[in-house]
Amino acid sequence: MKQIPGGICAAQGFRAAGVHVGVKTHNTQKKDVALIVSDVDCAAAAVFTTNVVKAAPIHVTKAHLADGTARAVICNSGNANACAPQGEENAERMCAAAAKAIGCAQEAVMVASTGVIGQTINVKVIEEGVPALYAGLERSDAASDAAAHAIMTTDTVKKEVAFEAEIGGKTVRIGGIAKGSGMIHPNMGTMLCFITTDCAISAPMLDAALHQVARVSFNRISVDGDTSTNDTCLVLANGLAGNAPITAPGGDFDAFAAVLTALCTALARMMAKDGEGAKHLITCTVTGARDEGQAETIGKSVISSTLTKAAIFGCDANWGRVLCAMGYSGETFDPERVDVAFRSAAGEIAVCEKGRGLAFDEDLAKKILTEDEVVIAIAMGEGSGTCTCWGCDITYDYIKINGDYRT
């Protein structure tokens, strides 16, 4: 397995584009609609938000995905099309416009939106912009870049990555783009993620791989504790790599799942690091837990703790915040077996041993926590369970960004 350029266009047979059509009215330089198209029909699978309140595009995409196939994805930013008048009708109109340009069935187009909730989407400007969007489709780094920027809202950097690996004696490529900066919490969080691969794999196996991988990647990040109405992760596989189709568990399925895990983990880390206003990426590693489930629950509790986030923002080695978050996680454990350390590129420092504070160099601790990527290492001393979760600090800028987001 190796990382390669190309993003969403790295796999054979996929083209993409991103343009400004006018959904975003405050800045005509910002792209606001993306289109991703395969040359041939694809096996497809998706995971969606766990929020009971779901945006119209999710209902439409779920219906279109019922047969496990897809040809394209159209996505806008600037308006979530959630809890809005004519929501599903407008989502279907987006699909219809894309299908007409591509020459495929409307049900073969998946749709997603991100942005402000509760406002009617200007679907007319999207319909009028689709011909130019379709005409701009390319298989290139620039095309993937344009699509990645077109789905961004409060993101400060694009999220894009691709890998290739040998599966079944063939070179298989997989690439993805994602957006997510705020409203990020375990069990998906305001994120959109589109993944393309030329691997030949059946829809049921693709679905199994995606659910397996989402659990250990996207479901282990948190920015602010809010789960969005629009979260969607969609994978399209067109089979053009020419490998023997993966139709059952086995070595080839495991190899595909490993590459998908690498890709989704990379995108998840990018989202956590780009949390709204964030200055630090926080990685929480839990080892020595009773089992993986206990490790995951505790890791999620720590990265979701507002007080822990605030301490990291202030470069304050306040390890008590960590133990406190562990204690209200809902898991039972023996606090007198817990060790805690902070680690970064500047070094490592132990701050807690067997549930008791250690004397440590505050200046060194501050230096370690000043780095933009910080690890909170927790050793439970109870078993062999492990888990890694990702989050970010909370800063003054988070309030500024969200205080007037709608207006």
Where among 251, 273, 295 does a domain terminate? 273
Q: Tokens 């995409």, residue?
A: 61
Q: Does residue 89 share a domain with residue 40?
A: yes
Q: Could you give the 3-state DSSP secondary structure of residue 109?
A: strand
Q: Does residue 300 share a domain with residue 321?
A: yes
Q: Does residue 297 share a domain with residue 191?
A: no
- Listed in sequence order, the residues at least 6 apart from 335 whose beta carbon sits closer than 8 Å to its beta carbon are 323, 326, 327, 355
Please tell me the predicted confidence (pLDDT) of residue 190. 55
Q: pLDDT exceeding 70 applies to what percent of the chain? A: 94
Using one digit for the tens of pLDDT, what is the confidence trace for 83-138? 999 999 999 999 999 999 999 999 999 999 998 889 999 999 999 999 999 999 99
Q: Does residue 101 share a domain with residue 168?
A: yes
Where among 213, 240, 273 does a domain terminate? 273
What average pLDDT does range 353-360 have in this prediction? 97
Mean pLDDT, the chain, whole residue set: 92
Domain count, the chain: 2
**3-state percent breakdown (helix, strand, coil) of the chain, nearest 5:** 35, 30, 35
Using one digit for the tens of pLDDT, what is the confidence trace for 145-167? 999 999 998 788 899 999 999 99
d(CA 24, CA 307): 35
Q: Does residue 47 share a domain with residue 26?
A: yes
Q: Does residue 219 share a domain with residue 337?
A: no
Please tell me the predicted confidence (pLDDT) of residue 155. 86
Confidence band, pLDDT 50/70/90 cuts, at residue 183:
very low
Q: Does residue 211 share a domain with residue 182?
A: yes
Q: Could you give the 3-state DSSP secondary structure of residue 339?
A: strand
Q: What distances in angstroms separate CA 322 from CA 294, 326, 329, 351, one per listed residue?
A: 15, 6, 11, 11
Q: Does residue 252 share a domain with residue 389?
A: no
Q: Tokens 């699978």, residue?
A: 45
Q: What's 197's domain CATH number?
A: 3.60.70.12
What average pLDDT does range 229-249 have in this prediction? 94
Backbone angles phi, psi at 304, to 5 degrees: -90, -10
Please tell me the predicted confidence (pLDDT) of residue 211. 95
* Cβ atoms 243, 170 nearer than 8 A: yes
Using one digit for the tens of pLDDT, what is the confidence trace for 192-234? 999 999 999 999 999 999 999 999 998 888 765 556 677 889 9
Q: Does residue 379 share a domain with residue 258?
A: no
Please tell me the predicted confidence (pLDDT) of residue 224. 56
- Spatial CA neighbour of 35 closest among 104, 87, 89, 121: 104
Q: 184 pLDDT exceeds 70?
A: no
Q: Does residue 385 share a domain with residue 236?
A: no
Where among 253, 273, 293 does a domain terminate? 273
Active-site residues, by number, are 190
Q: 277 pLDDT exceeds 80?
A: no
- Spatial CA neighbour of 53 closest among 144, 143, 104, 117: 117
The amino acid present at 59, given as its one-letter code, is: H
Structural domain boundaries enclosing 181: 2-273
Using one digit for the tens of pLDDT, what is the confidence trace for 310-351? 999 999 999 999 999 999 999 999 999 999 999 999 999 999
d(CA 39, CA 47): 23
Q: 186 pLDDT exceeds 50?
A: no
Q: Does residue 17 share a domain with residue 93?
A: yes
Q: Does residue 382 share a domain with residue 285?
A: yes
Q: What's 356's domain CATH number?
A: 3.10.20.340
Using one digit for the tens of pLDDT, what is the confidence trace for 41-69? 999 999 998 788 889 999 999 999 999 99
